[in-house]
Amino acid sequence: MTATVGVVGLGVMGGRIAGRLLDSGYPVVGTNRTPERAAPLVQRGLLWRDTPRHVAAAADVVLSSVADDAALDAVATGADGVLAGLRPGTVYADMSTASPQVSQGLAQRVRRLGAEMLDAPVSGSAPQAEAGQLTIMVGGAERAYERVLPVLRKLGSVVRIGENGQGLLLKLAINISLAEQIVAFGEGVLLAERGGIDRRLAVDVMTASAIGSPLLKGRAPLVVDPTGPVWFDIALMQKDLGLALDAARQLGVPLPTTAAANDLLTLARRLGYERRDIASVHEVLADVADER
């Protein structure tokens, strides 16, 4: 029998995850804070439920994808939260990038209900979610991981990292590099551009060189044309850097370049770039240069 999958949070990532599972033949029930965002998915076969509790009650596997710790608490707890609807034996995999400590606390509460919780954050943006090419890092009990593995494999490559919270810790480690790469790339493009080199030419040559990581190649069109789509905005990026810096303080790990990138993102938000894609760091640096 095919497991019924519940998806809580049908935004940029959650909506594409639900769509991918529908295309893979899974029965999918879902909910979102703003119901109108789910309308295209309902037309494709998603079964709408009014609350996370109702989604959890109808599903064998529950996935959630929300913005931050506050949003995770809002969908998971309370009278209408996921935990209120979980049945014994259900697996709840949260795919958000949240605090490892917050996720571990929720996992303990889920276990007391006779269910299991995994943290399963993803690396990748909207195009990878649509194509089933996400990298998914899972923390939690191995038996729960094995049960949810067939579902997660429809979304990308999957690896169990360790116990609850460790999938999230590795995701934060990845996002440190993500932020620092995009900042360094923006600096390099601006240096070339202000020296008289065409921006598109600089971007093309740089991404074809030894520094041309998949991240930079994917963001290159948004550096050339900053008016493009927003896949991962500056506010969310800074949220992740804050979580990484918090984890580093607890573990006694110095993160000097992460702190510098975080300072730049603070400036970006002050300049009004909060909801722009992280590729707009190049524009932020240009604004700073123009003010000097």
CB atoms within 10 A of CB 187: 14
The two tokens of residue 38 are 């789910």
Distances (CA, A) of 264 to 184, 192, 238, 247: 11, 20, 9, 20
Rounded Cα distance between 90 and 52, Å, is: 14
Backbone phi and psi for residue 159, each to the nearest 5 degrees, phi listed first: -140, 135
DSSP letter, residue 81? S
Q: Do 258 and 203 meet the contact criterion of CB atoms below 8 Å apart?
A: no
When computed from its CA atoms, the radius of gyration of the chain, rounded to whole angstroms, is 20
The residue among 129, 135, 88, 94 whose CA lies nearest residue 9 is 94
Q: Do 198 and 192 meet the contact criterion of CB atoms below 8 Å apart?
A: no
The residue among 103, 113, 60 whose CA lies nearest residue 83 is 113
The yes-or-no answer on residue 217 being catalytic is no
Rounded Cα distance between 92 and 63, Å, is: 6
Catalytically annotated residue among 154, 171, 217, 239: 171
Rounded Cα distance between 10 and 46, Å, is: 11
Active site (catalytic) residues: 171
